[in-house]
Amino acid sequence: MSTALTKTVDVSALTKRDTVISILIIGLLFFIFGFVSWINAILIPYFKIACELTNFESYLVAFAFYISYLVMSVPSSFLLKKIGFKKGIMVGFWVMAAGAFIFLPAALSRTYEIFLIGLFTIGTGLSILQTAANPYITVLGPKESAAQRISIMGICNKGAGILAPLLFAAVVLKATDTELFNAIGTMSEMEKSAALDELIRRVIVPYACVGTVLLALGLVVRYSPLPEINTEQESTAVAAANAGKKSIFQFPYLILGAVAIFLHVGTQVIAIDTIIGYANSMHINLLEAKVFPSYTLFATICGYILGIICIPKYISQVTVLRLCTLLGLSLTLLIIFVNGQITMLGHTADISIWFVVLLGLANSLVWAGIWPLALDGLGRFTKLGASVLIMGLCGNAILPLFYGWMADVYDVRTAYWVLFPCYLYLVFYAFYGHRVKRWSL
């Protein structure tokens, strides 16, 4: 169905009830984003063992999953223009379901490349959902409180992220697996192959269930009361300002914001997806280390709650963005330079791992700060601008590979240097980059 035949409404025409229902439905989407995305934190070390991978190879999980955002975000924006938000969301869920079902033959053959195809397919579906949901929630109310709404979505996302690795571990890992992991190196090739085949096939039932649920959710959202809002409406002032503009590249703060998204999501996924491996380097086994991504995500949720309470009543979203980026820069240096054994929450580990956990707090409101600044005043360019920002999610694919390469060449702690230039740029965008309206100096 073309947009000409799709009934859309302006945000200002929505009742309070309509707005609340819309926020709840989009919150469900962000929960799904989180559940499917952050399960990678446990998939990386799991596949590393089951498929006998190096650090670099194991982080191809994140690469295959998130590179789809680079490939599919702009096509997703055209799809949404053609069929509308609701049908687009349905298609996104169904593409994700197809990716989940690809895990079944991958597990039966223990073929890592097929797993990567499945992850790419899931990421493709998510790119459609993200391209729809992020601009939708950004314009669903006053722009001054956009960070507050995005923070609510973030709680849904990271709450699911806390549950995902724990539920996955509960389903596929056994209490005796520590002995299995320790014994793999001493097994004959035939014994090892049989043990690893049994280990990898444990993903079949959970991913079959995930695929079925995603198929059903596509239908639920398609026939839900979610309104087709007009995300490209322009005020008289915005229309006048954009009158001579033909391309999104004429909005420097948007392009700089896409780079900021690229670096931000990369720092976020490194903080979450590498922490189990970092714990392993401190002789903490997988069954104990599985909870560390949840600690990082809990720190992120704490940041979201502070954002909901404080923005914009006590502090502006720009100021919060500046504070968070400076905190991330400081924590990176603490991870690298501060050491010493401590016991906390029942874990005995180097103190630096808790600075990695606190990166969750530093990263919490960066996404929420960048989106409203980068989309401000785009008007009719909003959908395409949102797809450019979503392309930045490929940072989740690329930066973990740099971390994995550095971990192989140096060590898992030194590899955290990859975060430093990322946070430097984010500080630049928070203080200056978002105000750049033209490319000429």
Structure tokens at 323: 């504070």
Share of the chain above pLDDT 90, in %: 31
Question: Looking at the domain assignment, is residue 2 inside a domain?
Answer: no
Higher local confidence (pLDDT), 366 or 155: 366
Is the pLDDT at 299 greater than 70? The verdict is yes
For 179-201, give the secondary structure using H, E and C: HHHHHHHHCCHHHHHHHHHHHHH
Q: Is 213 exposed, middle or buried (0-12, 13-18, 19+ CB in 10 A)?
A: middle
Q: How many domains does the chain have?
A: 1
Residue 362 lies in a domain: yes
The β-bridge relationship of strands 341-344 and 347-350 is antiparallel
Check residue 242 and give its pLDDT. 62
Q: What is the DSSP letter of 433?
A: G
Q: Which of the four pLDDT bands, split at 50, 70 and 90, describes residue 208?
A: very high
Please say if the pLDDT value at position 382 is more than 60: yes
* Of residues 153 and 143, more confidently modeled: 153
Residue 326: predicted pLDDT: 97
Average pLDDT, the chain: 84
Q: Give the residue numbers spanning the domain of 297.
A: 8-229+245-435
pLDDT in tens, 184-203: 878 888 888 888 888 889 88
Q: Which of 28-42, 99-113, 203-217 has the lowest mean pLDDT?
A: 28-42
b/e burial code for range 104-134 (CB count within 10 A of at least 16 → b): bebbeebebebbbbbbbbbbbbbbbbbbbbb
Identify the CATH number of the domain in which residue 281 sits: 1.20.1250.20
If pLDDT is split at 50, 70 and 90, which confidence band does 231 have? low
Query: Mean pLDDT across the stretch 229-236?
Result: 59
For residues 246-253, give the mean pLDDT.
84
- Domain contains 234: no
**SS3 of 344, please?**
strand
- Please report whether residue 346 resides in a domain: yes
Residue 236: per-residue pLDDT: 62
Q: What is the pTM of this model?
A: 0.74
Q: What is the pLDDT of residue 120?
A: 93
Distance CA 136, CA 386 (A): 10
Quick check: is 3 in a domain?
A: no
Tell me the CA distances in angstroms from 197 to 200, 216, 388, one per residue in order: 5, 30, 40
- Domain assignment present for residue 235? The answer is no
Question: Residue 231 corresponds to which tokens in the numbers above?
Answer: 């995300």
Structural domain includes residue 240: no
How high is the pLDDT of residue 233?
58
Mean pLDDT within 424-432: 96
Kindly state whether residue 308 falls inside one of the protein's structural domains: yes
